[in-house]
Chain A
């Protein structure tokens, strides 16, 4: 019996249900069309709900899906029917907040696609093969973002633009918090 909490997939869709970035950790959906069918089902089932202030939850096909929306971005985390709902919600919140930090508060589809590399790295840092790696948004965003400059290198070695970017980012983040 598998006792370790496990995540079946994490989805980031736009306001029409199209993929921005998705990651599946389970063999429940073997083909791309099976995945697309699942995404469509999840999207239609949730699109009319208001999941903008608090994460919402639904259950169908023996999966539990927790979700949260901001602007034209729809975040989903799926788990098995016996999974602890609150664990799933914690993963969702970690992903949601980390993306918010990485996009510096401009959470919309355009910004997400323009920074797709950050979103993909973010997915990579949250869950590994279904096992939860990290749920703290600051830690996740920190790990992803450390690459925009060489964290180990002293400031003098950064270019002026990089230094400016770093400064701006620190400022935005302190404003956000």
Chain B
């Protein structure tokens, strides 16, 4: 038996771990619960047993179904006792046990009796318990009492009924909605919290009805709510109304702004803060509107209460992202928060300062941060590193001190994610700030001398191989790289060998010495390292002679593998070992658009060393297999691109047809996917008659009819066109589905002998320029852009006319060109006035194309665009411009 509850005594010398529940055990307590069945109830003892049961549940113990039922039934006996304290515990116990529907009936009458009792405390609690465990049918029985309770003069009873109403609205909305009148009355209650609960319930009842919400807000904002909580609710509802009416009132003052601004002078801090936050979150907030909100938040920054400081700095941090200048006034207060005891506040203060800081304050800021970095957790450090990176990009002149800071923290202790964030930042700075390159590379070299993470070492070695040879004195990196060959594990050694080879290929003066080093690697214990050394020695001309490295060797060493890795992996999996060697050219190049779920991942751009995330497996393989199995199309050559299916019929018509456009060098094949949705029909000899009169360059060469199309089993028919080789011909095609229809007896499923010829008009289909461009991403746009050179660059400016938003214009151009957006530049930050978008793709004939789009708002809604195209062929550069000009 467990120890009984000992009432408080003054002897405090017992052992520290003493607990009244020491050694408590479920079985024993369940035994004790039998006292609930005694004819002479001892309220105090019963209370103690219930407390023990609740203690067990609270500690995570669970009761089996049988145990729970048994406890529940004996607890119901306790309604006989008149002891108030015991009754309270019974209420809590019943809620915790959450009885099943058939058990609820047992207590219903007792609870209903309490609900109509004269004791307010009984009424309030009985309502809460009953509403918690009840279902719809019982609810209609007690509805009358609940409506009365809502307007009860005792605020505790009214609140209990209103809060229960809020919960019940989720399960039985139709019943709760009938209480509107009572709830409306309760909104006028003099009791502060009743008004709060009534307001919450009333809004939830009416939230679908915008007009009603609008009315509610207008009437209440004229007065003042009685409790700070109700006032906070009102502020939230008001900002919702402002948000929803934003489109109608572009001109003049924002409705209800005065109310929000007035709330900034409320006496309760929670209301002041709620209003300030609401103002900062207004759509398209102006700096005049922001000022009063920023002023009160600034006062909070120097509050003695950490919660206020945190709330203020967190809100200001968000404001700094969109309106950095509005926050600069708070910089002095913010700087004193860097040394705040609360590290969350300090981190938020630092990142805000880094966003709002100006060039002259950078050095001072860095000094303060250095002291701070040593005593915060890695997750905070990553936030700081990212903020410093964007600061450096904003003030490139300050790269020296910022780069120094990064290299200092790189030397200190830290986990992988933190180190990776630093390395990524250094890499980005090297890429974007040419003056920072040499120091940055040396910092990375020093880091790999003592780096415990294989992943980071290999990534840095790879990066060194690309950037190192282009520096003024490439030889100084060789020592760092060759040291890796001695001191590291096989993965890093192999990476180092590849990097050495790249130096050898690019810097002729170093070649003989590199050969010596590579030859030493031939004796490595690991076969991958030996293989790589042998390969590079041979490709670079291992006879030791100083010869100019051939272009194809450079391409081999530096060219990016212009196929998505996932596609390569799939092709390799499908490849069956045979006499025929694996042909890398057979791997499809198309990057399939990523499913939405991946895009939703918080806007992390593929920056730094990581290549863009690989796309999911493609269906190109399947199309290619299908087409090559059809003899008429087998001679068309390699499939260049297959479009996504385009619907040619409305949803829910008799026949559903969609088309896939397959583009070959000299041909186009339309694949019509047909589905027969009429159970009483069998279609035979299905063809599509294509009228190409509006597509002059196309001539029909072949078609493949579909012999039979039974109900609900999709089939395909094909039509092939010839077009000029390698030319991106466009045109419009009108389609007519022609077939022989036969009646089917639904009972037997047999078709009649004779059929009738019939036709069915389909929607038109277009071949557009985007069909000739493959979405092929590049991992480093800047590198690709520069290595492409400006030989065939074409630049021009276009006016795109009025657009809803910048984002809409950007998407329209991306869709028009059908190219792959790089480095996450397809996402336009809200409220921005200009945007740069990077696209890459492969044009028909395997010509790489890179596009840099610069958008700007010109006037209220006019969007202007500067289009710069680089490609390997000037005709292609011109073609891209033509697409945009005509699109």
Contacts and interface: CB of A to CB of B under 8 A. Distances in A.
Q: Is the interface of B mostly helix, strand, loop or mixed?
A: helix
Given A116-B51, A120-B51, A129-B167, 18 more contacts: A3-B236, A3-B237, A19-B58, A55-B305, A66-B307, A84-B311, A85-B307, A86-B308, A113-B19, A114-B8, A116-B20, A124-B92, A128-B160, A132-B229, A133-B193, A146-B84, A146-B121, A147-B84
A158 to B, nearest CB: 12
B19 A57 contact: no
Contacts of A36: 60
A131 B197 contact: yes
A168 B880 CA distance: 89
B270 A87 contact: yes
B200 A58 contact: no
Pick the most buried of B92, B240, B311: most chain A CB atoms within 10 A of its CB: B311
B265 interface: no
A84 B197 contact: no
B89 interface: yes
B290 to A, nearest CB: 19
B59 interface: yes
Contacts of A170: none
B344 interface: yes
A41 to B, nearest CB: 12
Contacts of B95: 124
B521 to A, nearest CB: 47
B166 interface: yes
Interface in B133-174: 156, 159-160, 163-164, 166-167
A50 B88 contact: no
Contacts of B236: 3
Contacts of B233: 3-5
A3 B201 CA distance: 11
The range of chain A's interface size is 35 or more
Contacts of B305: 54-55, 89
Interface in B301-356: 304-308, 310-311, 314, 341-342, 344
A115 B273 CA distance: 36
Contact of B21 (A54, A113, A129): A113
A78 B128 CA distance: 23
13 contacts: A21-B58, A54-B306, A57-B311, A66-B307, A84-B273, A84-B311, A86-B269, A110-B19, A117-B47, A117-B89, A129-B163, A131-B197, A147-B84
Nearest to B311: A85
Interface of B: 5-8, 18-21, 47, 50-51, 54-55, 58-60, 62, 84-85, 87-89, 91-92, 95, 119, 121, 128, 132, 156, 159-160, 163-164, 166-167, 193, 196-197, 200, 203-204, 228-229, 232-233, 236-237, 240, 269-270, 273-274, 277, 304-308, 310-311, 314, 341-342, 344
Top 9 nearest A-B pairs by Cβ distance?
A147-B85, A32-B60, A86-B270, A85-B311, A89-B307, A117-B51, A3-B236, A4-B200, A57-B310
Interface in A130-173: 131-135, 143, 146-148, 150-152
Given A114-B6, A128-B163, A87 B310 contact: no
A70 interface: no
Nearest to B347: A59
Contacts of A50: 341
B614 to A, nearest CB: 28
A156 B258 CA distance: 58
B270 A84 contact: yes
Nearest to B156: A143
Contacts of B307: 54-57, 66, 85-86, 88-89
A150 B170 CA distance: 36
A40 interface: no
Given A49-B341, A116-B55, A120-B54, A56 B306 contact: yes
Nearest to B93: A120
Contacts of A32: 60, 62
Nearest to A135: B229
